[in-house]
Structure 1
Amino acid sequence: MPRQHSVTEIRINSIVACLTPFLVVLNDLHDAFGSPFILPVTNATASLITGFQNVKRNKDECIQLMESIHQVLYSIINLHLKSETAGFLPPALLLEVGKFTETLYQIHTFIEAQRDTNKIKQLFHKSEIKTMLKGCRTGLDHAITVFKVHLHHTILYIESIDLG
């Protein structure tokens, strides 16, 4: 009889299945437009997917972080596709993509720390892990807010051009 997957395993597999195609789209954006920060975002996301699948502790927190990354990547891709000059973002948004890249590397550090199963190390690093998680969440919340606002503004601008 086949082994039943837990809800956590199903969520992990679902996120991996959703994020993997984003890597292809991000690589295509990089190849087509050479947009800054896209290649580091792609590489960090690919590394996160691999590390995420091997997490031993704090799986729910890691799942939430990866779901938030999915939201941000969706917004970034849409912004590239719906920008005034397709594929190119204004400097202010490029700066935000750069900040998001830094957040991805922070998340990578957090996820790597969740792969270690040494109980003694866990006890000594518990407050450090909490601080790291808080920083990751703050960075992701900022990215979600910024990119969704810009995406909404871009869609409204395009619709006003189409109507006018």
Structure 2
Amino acid sequence: MPSQPTVMQARLKNIATCLTGAAATVDVLADNLKNPALDAISTTTQSLSKSVETIKQNKSDCAQLLEETHKLLNAIILVYIKSETGAELAPSVLTHIVKFTKTLHQIHAFLEAQQKTSSVKKLFRQGEMSRLLKECKTGLQEGLDFFQIERVNVMADVTQMCEDAQRRHQEVLCMIETLYDGRSFEGASYTSRVYSSSYNSSNSISIIRKTQSCCIVPDSAT
């Protein structure tokens, strides 16, 4: 008789399910807005959801990082839905979306290092791993603070979370239908300038080392 999943295994599985749904919605936004930051967010989130099954160590830290990642993904999706145009977002919002891509890649690197046979972990000393985790938490907290997201247990009711995700996905599809009336994509263009270099989630170590040069944030943004 197969063993029952532990509480942590169930928690991680629920997170993966929610991340997959959120990534699909962000992917729709990225494809239609031609937004490189959203494209990077979608790609990396899909990779994160797949990597959940291979996490062997520090599962609690990984679960917390992924849950807060999911909160920020939903916040970004809602910002676009509420904008009704999908492109005309405030520069400060777009800047934080770009910053989130950096944090996502740091989280991806941390999760890779928690695999039992991870080649990534061998490149990190314990102090470097602790510093990476701290940077992940700091980046997420900045996003949570900016989007005014409270720390609540959003994974308590997975069924409700999936229903909410389906509703948001449909709202995004409806919004996209309004984007083909000839209006310009100024917001997407601004993000393209801010997001000066696309990330590659499969090369997380290189990303971390080059983050400052790849992610350019305007001095005037707040």
Secondary structure class of the residue paired with 1:56: coil
Look up the match of 1:81.
Answer: 81
Tell me, in whole angstroms, the C-alpha distance in 2 between the residues paired with 1:27 and 1:43: 8
Q: With structure 2 as the length reference, what TM-score do the two structures score?
A: 0.61
8 Å Cα contact 2:12-2:63 kept in structure 1: yes
| C-alpha displacement of 1:47 | 1.3
The 4+ residue runs of structure 1 with deviation greater than 4 A are: none
Alignment length, in residue pairs?
145
1:56-109 CA distance string (max 9 Å, x none): 1101100000000000000000000001x5212222211111100000011111
Look up the match of 1:45.
Answer: 45
Look up the match of 2:90.
Answer: 90
Residue correspondence of structure 1 range 1-164 to structure 2 within 5 A: 1-83=1-83, 85-88=84-87, 89-117=89-117, 125-148=125-148
8 Å Cα contact 1:75-1:148 kept in structure 2: no
- Structure 2: which 5+ runs fail to align? 150-222
8 Å Cα contact 1:12-1:63 kept in structure 2: yes
Tell me, in whole angstroms, the C-alpha distance in 2 between the residues paired with 1:117 and 1:130: 19
8 Å Cα contact 1:11-1:63 kept in structure 2: yes
Look up the match of 1:162.
Answer: none
Q: Aligned AA for 2:86? A: G
Q: With structure 1 as the length reference, what TM-score do the two structures score?
A: 0.81
Tell me, in whole angstroms, the C-alpha distance in 1 between the residues paired with 2:26 and 2:111: 22
Tell me, in whole angstroms, the C-alpha distance in 1 between the residues paired with 2:11 and 2:139: 22
Secondary structure class of the residue paired with 1:37: helix
- Structure 1: which 5+ runs fail to align? 150-164
Q: Aligned AA for 1:31? A: D
Q: Aligned AA for 1:27? A: D
| C-alpha displacement of 1:36 | 4.0
Secondary structure class of the residue paired with 1:31: helix
Q: Aligned AA for 1:147? A: F
1:9-67 CA distance string (max 9 Å, x none): 10011001111111211111122322341100001111111222211110110000000
Moved more, 101-110 or 20-29: 20-29
Secondary structure class of the residue paired with 2:54: coil
Tell me, in whole angstroms, the C-alpha distance in 2 between the residues paired with 1:46 and 1:26: 10
| C-alpha displacement of 1:136 | 0.4
Secondary structure class of the residue paired with 1:14: helix
Tell me, in whole angstroms, the C-alpha distance in 2 between the residues paired with 1:117 and 1:25: 32
Q: Aligned AA for 1:11? A: R
1:104-147 CA distance string (max 9 Å, x none): 011111111111458xx77x722211111011000000011112
Q: Aligned AA for 2:85? A: A
